[in-house]
Amino acid sequence: MDTRRARKNLGDSGERVAALALQQRGYTILARNFRTRLGEMDLIARDADGLAFIEVRTRRGRAAGTPEESLTPRKRVRLFAVAQQYLQDHPEYADWTWRIDLVAIELDRAGRIARLDVIKGAVEE
């Protein structure tokens, strides 16, 4: 399997795990893989605090750093742009409080979840 496909499979499985974990924590998933010309948002959900735009970062080991460290300033800017586009496309959420959360997932050598953290408001303007 080529590296790009392996990375996509890892990301897709991380998103599925994140969606389940978020639902167990009271989130309602509204959209998955919302795409615009500016980028993509992995998950969009609502919870008791409002609307949550969610970036999922999954890593096998720490050779490339932690999931949190992989969220570059450029990616943060894109996430805000995608969130703004979603809000424009869905005026029913215009008055909602919103934030960008990060779900950080680290897998052990066997591919099991070693850590899953939901970081509310992880990305700020």
pLDDT in tens, the chain (125 residues): 577 776 666 667 889 999 999 999 999 999 999 999 999 999 999 999 999 999 999 988 777 788 888 888 999 999 999 999 999 999 999 899 999 999 999 988 888 899 999 999 998 76
Q: Which CATH architecture has domain 3-123?
A: 3-Layer(aba) Sandwich (3.40)
Cα 46 to Cα 21, 25, 53, 65, 115: the distances in Å are 14, 11, 9, 29, 23
Cα–Cα–Cα angle for 116, 97, 34, nearest 5°?
A: 60
95 contact partners, CB below 8 Å, separation of at least 6: none
Which helix (H) or strand (E) covers residue 28, if one does? strand 28-36
- Model confidence pTM above 0.85: yes
| SS3 label, residue 95 | coil
